[in-house]
């Protein structure tokens, strides 16, 4: 059995690639899948922080490529889920430290060890982007409903199509009240422009800031609204037909109530 290898990419930075990779991975692992998360952002790694394992890093992706350690030695097990692991990026090297062929080789090795390899791509479309794509067979494009993010996502989708890679879309940080007031693009606008299959819609939520700072993926927080959304994304990845949650703007009373509660 060989794992599915999915790259999370966006073009524009800061739209939530790392957070999405961590949470989709955590949701898949929670449902029993064996998942390895790979940080391809050599020099600017952050996936380790989002998962709270930054102090446990001994070896990294570049050291695996250079044969300084075994692949299994570089994998760090998640604190909460034993079937979730991360392969961290090197922090003090740059993206040219590894080639596309070397990256593809490591992803191939990883896919013998698990059900899903999720690759967190760096921002931009330079060498690091090409490396991150090298070992992947499918792509999830993360975007936010902003003109600049959509333009960059469009450019990236073009590059993914050139490689014949299947593309699905997660629209992140939707603010229903801003969509309603006409100050933010709606989901339909985004999917129409990008013409890609929709995998998930994730609302903007302060909880992400807090859980990210704490190094705990929100997908693992019990009773969290976002955890339910990431769980649905995981089921869709597994091929299940799961209806999309209709995001409505909370009314004034709901907001008061939520603040009070």
| Residues in contact with other proteins by the rule CB under 8 A | 11-15, 18, 43-44, 46, 49-50, 91, 94-95, 122-128, 146-148, 151-152, 155, 175, 178, 183-185, 206, 209-210, 212-213
Q: Which is nearer to other proteins, 49 or 165 (CB)?
A: 49
Cβ 137 vs Cβ 5: under 8 Å: yes
Closest distance between other proteins and the C-beta of residue 151, in Å? 7
Q: Cα separations (Å) of 77 from 73, 137, 144, 152, 258? A: 10, 24, 30, 33, 35
Q: How far is the CB of 243 from other proteins (least distance, A)?
A: 28
CB of 5 to other proteins, least distance (A): 22
> DSSP letters along 67-122, please?
TSS-HHHH-EE-SS-TTEEEEPPPSSS-GGGS-HHHHHHHHHHHHTT-SEEEEEPP
**Which of 43/105 has CB closer to other proteins?**
43
**Smaller CB distance to other proteins: residue 28 or 121?**
121
Q: How many whole angstroms separate alpha carbon 225 and alpha carbon 105? A: 38
Looking at beta carbons only, is 128 or 200 nearer to other proteins?
128
Helix axes 206-214, 225-237, angle to 10 degrees: 80
Residues 6+ apart with CB under 8 A from 11: 123, 124, 125, 149, 152, 153, 155, 156
In the complex, the smallest distance separating the C-beta of residue 118 from other proteins, rounded to whole angstroms, is: 17
**Pick 3 or 196: Cβ nearer other proteins:** 196
Segments of 116-222 assigned E as strands: 116-120, 138-143, 167-174, 197-203
Nearest CA among 258, 198, 254, 229 for reference residue 26: 229
Partners of residue 198 on adjacent β-strands:
169
Q: How far is the CB of 46 from other proteins (least distance, A)?
A: 4
- The position carrying tokens 């060989």 is 2
Q: How far is the CB of 152 from other proteins (least distance, A)?
A: 5
Tell me how far, at minimum, the Cβ of 158 lies from other proteins, in Å.
10
Closest CB to other proteins among residues 84, 90: 90
User: Measured between alpha carbons, how far apart are the two ends of the chain, in Å?
Assistant: 47
For residues 191 and 198, what is the distance between their CA atoms, to the nearest angstrom? Answer: 7
91 — phi, psi (to 5°)? -100, -30
Give min distance, CB of 18 to other proteins, in A.
7
- Residue 2 or 213: which CB sits closer to other proteins? 213
Nearer to other proteins, 115 or 216 (CB): 216
């Amino acid at each position: 059995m060989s794992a599915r290898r999915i790259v999370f990419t966006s073009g524009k930075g800061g739209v939530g690639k790392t957070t999405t990779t961590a949470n989709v991975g955590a949701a898949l692992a929670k449902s029993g899948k064996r998942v390895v998360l790979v940080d391809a952002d050599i020099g600017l790694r952050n996936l380790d922080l989002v998962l709270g394992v930054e102090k446990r890093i001994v070896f990294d992706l570049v050291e695996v490529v250079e044969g300084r350690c075994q692949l299994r030695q570089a994998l760090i097990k998640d604190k909460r889920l034993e079937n979730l692991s991360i392969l961290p990026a090197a922090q003090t090297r740059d993206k040219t430290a590894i080639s596309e062929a070397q990256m593809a080789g490591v992803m191939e090795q990883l896919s013998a060890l698990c059900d899903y390899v999720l690759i967190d791509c760096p921002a931009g479309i330079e060498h690091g982007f090409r490396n991150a794509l090298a070992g992947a067979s499918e792509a999830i494009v993360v975007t936010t409903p902003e003109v600049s993010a959509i333009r960059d996502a469009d450019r990236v989708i073009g590059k993914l199509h050139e490689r014949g890679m299947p593309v699905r879309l997660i629209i992140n940080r939707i603010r229903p009240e801003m969509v309603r007031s006409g100050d933010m693009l709606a989901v339909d606008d985004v999917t129409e422009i990008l013409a890609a299959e929709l995998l998930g819609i994730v609302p903007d939520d302060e909880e992400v800031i807090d859980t990210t700072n704490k190094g705990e993926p929100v997908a693992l927080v019990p009773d969290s609204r976002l955890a339910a959304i990431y769980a649905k994304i995981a089921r869709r990845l597994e091929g299940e037909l799961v209806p999309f949650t209709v995001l409505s703007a909370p009314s004034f009373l709901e907001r008061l109530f939520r603040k009070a509660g």
